[in-house]
Amino acid sequence: MIGKWLFVVLVGLGGGLTVGAGFVAFLTVLGIIPRLMQLTKTQRFIQGYEAAVICGAVVGGWATLSPIHLHLSKWLTLPIGLLSGIFVGMLAAALTEVLNVLPILTKRIGMDGKIVLLLMAIVLGKVFGSLFHWLIYI
């Protein structure tokens, strides 16, 4: 029983660190918020942007961990799930494309020429993680 809970804690921490790192990379390295303020000429609302990002992260984290159920119909959840998946996939693809993360990562960990293995590890990790999340009830 303790091993099962320890595994869940490790998977949760790993997932949280991964999402947090992606979120920070998206906001800082790509400069999304400064670019948005520059395009909309709303630099005077910088504290509002900061508050929105922090509140969004906190409310999103709380909503993920809380036992609230919305009881939506499958016809309403289908497009929501589809759009959410598209958003996450495109965000991951954009980060990878813009930052050239995978080629740099393969060089740093000594896997030059084995980028396909790294991609398969990422894909299989995502598939098994999603299956674990949706099929295993703890």
Query: What one-character DSSP code corresponds to residue 115?
Result: H
- pTM recorded for the entire structure: 0.44
Q: Point out the domain boundary residue: 23, 41, 70.
A: 70
Which whole number is the average pLDDT over 49-65? 78
- Model pLDDT, residue 55: 80
Q: What percent of the chain has pLDDT over 90?
A: 1
- Which of 55, 70, 85 is the last residue before a domain boundary? 70
Based on the fold, state whether residues 63 and 1 are members of the same structural domain: yes
More confident residue, 92 or 84: 84
Which of these, 137, 98, 110, 105, lies nearest to 122 by C-alpha position?
Answer: 105
pLDDT at position 58, please? Answer: 78
* CA 108 to centroid of chain Cα atoms: 23
User: Is 132 found in the same domain as 85?
Assistant: yes
Higher per-residue pLDDT: 19 or 47: 47
15-127-138-69 Cα dihedral, nearest 10 degrees: 80
102 in Cβ contact with 96 (< 8 Å) = yes
Do both 35 and 100 map to the same domain? no
| Co-location of 63 and 79 in the same domain | no
Pair (121, 87) in one structural domain: yes
